[in-house]
Structure 1
């Protein structure tokens, strides 16, 4: 063996070290440790004052802090990414066609998902098998409707921010600040289009926006690097708060939901990928980091930075298109929360209250699930989507309260499927339009979704080639 070969061998990291550095392995390890620590915290029990013990509180703080960091980056990410993507789309000849294809495939996959949900709800009959003595109906705290969607389209301020205050029994007032993602998207689109209309005079603004986007992406990379720690806290806190005993009285409902999620994730999505001539294994290995984070964070918006990055760097979707499709999909593409779940849940409520659904009502379930997910964009949550479905069908809204006990457990699987779908559609559309980087899609996975600065510079060059030519790199 030559000295050069020996030196290269000595410098090459072992497979064990490579696995340890793998993002997927770190997330999986955090999941296991989180479950263990959660069980330990539950075994310790509450303190003498009736509050959570120190371990439970620590897990809760770690998990909530990580989600807060992700959510804090959402507004600047969406704002700069959409404006930058509109500026880049001016160099793509088929921009309108890309947007149309994206909406079409959103609807196609949603229709398949809701069809599976209706079938499972009718066959498994979770409502008829539920223990009525162990369940208590209650009014939902949030109700979704078409008026919410129309109201949410009109921005109340430039950043889509909202503030609310609530008074407790002891007289204390708690204030909270949130944001309406749909309004942020509307504002960003308006500014981006206005910048294009202004022309050359807007170039300095667009350059600043591009630079800000790069800075935000770097900050997001730092946040994603601590995802395993956040995962440990999130899954541990879920075990502490809910455990698995809540599944007892709603066992068949939970089984129906997870069977539906598994069918879409493991059968429908792979079939669509295969029909487009792409490797199923490469798709799953590419999107897996975002799916894992979505599962533990229970937030498509919180997972958005990583979803967009894996769509670009792992699946080969051009940044000019991904920066539009993924943020848009994170608010409107929800096969888990807005298709499978409301379909099965609506059937569950009807069966629980002894109401026979007509064929027309089944059609309405499908219609609301396919079109209605946009109505929840400003007020995200499967509960809002479910209330919209129930009110459309004329079913008792009190049925929502029946399902709240195990909603956090179900929300993990729903969000994971949402995230996978939000990466799938841009990948499929990019392949159909001939702009998918097949070399990048089929590349060996290194276990991380972000690359160093040198790789990002190369990615910018590749993106520029794609935007100019309108075809994939050869």
Structure 2
């Protein structure tokens, strides 16, 4: 009889519950386990620099390889990107507002607050100057993420130009392989995530008690409220611009929404979303194929909102006050993470570590974020997928490729290629 194997998600949920209960029972003694969680965090941190660099460079370099393959017009591409950017900024801005008002991390104090006086005194000009490092190897050694990203973007542009000029993709292929290997390292590290999360949460709960539950619930609550607000706004805006009945949309979104909520995967939901965008929403096939494909990789409004709330949560839970300029830098990084320019796969552990390192925040609070990430993933994916269809409708409407007869159910089309 074969043994039942628990998924990583289930293991993490068990670790969260066990860590909270253990810390509550044993109290301050649970702090002796903190070193296990610290090792887990360090295992992630040691891979982040290489992961970010190879992701950015390969993403920009790959554009040269694919630059001649697009058959759609510049107008469709520019409109798609514009609407994706609008939705991403809307979601991230709303996330920032909600997290600032509700302050989900307040009262946690998962680590002793350090004096941030020097950071607070840095002005806009010095902040921008510090985006560029005089020594990239020094920035890599210290984990100074923003200069690393700037260098990677410039290196990627140079690589892009070299490929266009010479046709030689050897360096790009090597970098992509390095990226894949680093992802395998991250995946290996994530196998010990339940143990690390248990140790971190046991320490936090042993220090401050069951007060940890409130912030976790508030984090999810803020994300849910934000997702609902953005979704309602975009449905009403799309209905007005496309001149369609908004009351018909909930039923049309039902199938893809159920898959998104249960799988928390945009990739798994993509076939259903693409099919429904053509057969239920009336988007012409060629436009849907392009906009939905781009949306799956770049259109992550739900993730942008989640990452911004994550930044504010970590900042508040750590008791560290960051100046507005630095918080805006964090919002910019969160937006770039979702637009595909800075691709950091590997789950919330990697994203939270990346953002905390970039902004100079302690990372102890990420255990709380990872602990509820499966539920947060439901909300993120719901907004990501549904918003992709909305963007597809808006673009189709602008180029005369939206069939309102199909949308209103008076005409039937097939998503299958003729």
Q: Is the 8 A contact 1:148 1:375 kept in 2?
A: no
1:48 is matched with which residue? none
Unmatched 5+ residue regions in structure 2? 1-9, 15-67, 112-144, 161-171, 192-210
Structure 1, 349-358 or 150-159: larger mean CA deviation:
150-159
Distance 1:414 1:304 in 2: 14
Q: Is 1:282 matched with 2:260? A: no
TM, length-normalised to structure 2: 0.58
Q: Is 1:415 matched with 2:381? A: yes
CA drift at 1:290: 0.9
Distance 2:347 2:187 in 1: 24
Structure 1, 257-266 or 340-349: larger mean CA deviation:
257-266
Of 68, 71, 80, which aligns to 1:102?
Answer: 80
Q: What value does the CA root-mean-square deviation take over the aligned residues? A: 3.9
CA drift at 1:156: 5.8
Q: Is the 8 A contact 1:126 1:253 kept in 2?
A: yes
Of 278, 283, 301, which aligns to 1:312?
Answer: 278
1:332 is matched with which residue? 298
Distance 1:280 1:298 in 2: 25
Of 453, 456, 461, which aligns to 2:414?
Answer: 456
Number of equivalenced pairs: 281
1:256 is matched with which residue? 222
Q: Is the 8 A contact 2:337 2:344 kept in 1?
A: no
CA drift at 1:281: 2.4
> How does 1:216-231 map onto structure 2 within 5 Å?
none
Q: Is the 8 A contact 1:294 1:412 kept in 2?
A: yes
Corresponding residue SS for 1:397: coil
CA drift at 1:267: 3.0
1:360 is matched with which residue? 325
The structure-2 alpha-carbon separation of the partners of 1:436 and 1:380, relative to structure 1 and needing over 3 Å to count, comes to: farther
CA drift at 1:369: 2.9
1:341 is matched with which residue? 306
Distance 2:403 2:178 in 1: 35
CA drift at 1:326: 1.0
Q: Is the 8 A contact 2:256 2:269 kept in 1?
A: yes
Distance 2:263 2:78 in 1: 30
CA drift at 1:158: 11
CA drift at 1:431: 0.8
Of 393, 400, 411, which aligns to 2:366?
Answer: 400
Q: Is 1:426 matched with 2:398? A: no
Q: Deviations over 1:234-255 (max 9, x none)?
A: xxxxxxxxxxx99555222221
CA drift at 1:128: 0.2
CA drift at 1:364: 1.8
TM, length-normalised to structure 1: 0.51
Bigger relative CO (Cα 8 Å, ≥ 6 apart): 2
1:291 is matched with which residue? 257
Corresponding residue SS for 2:365: helix
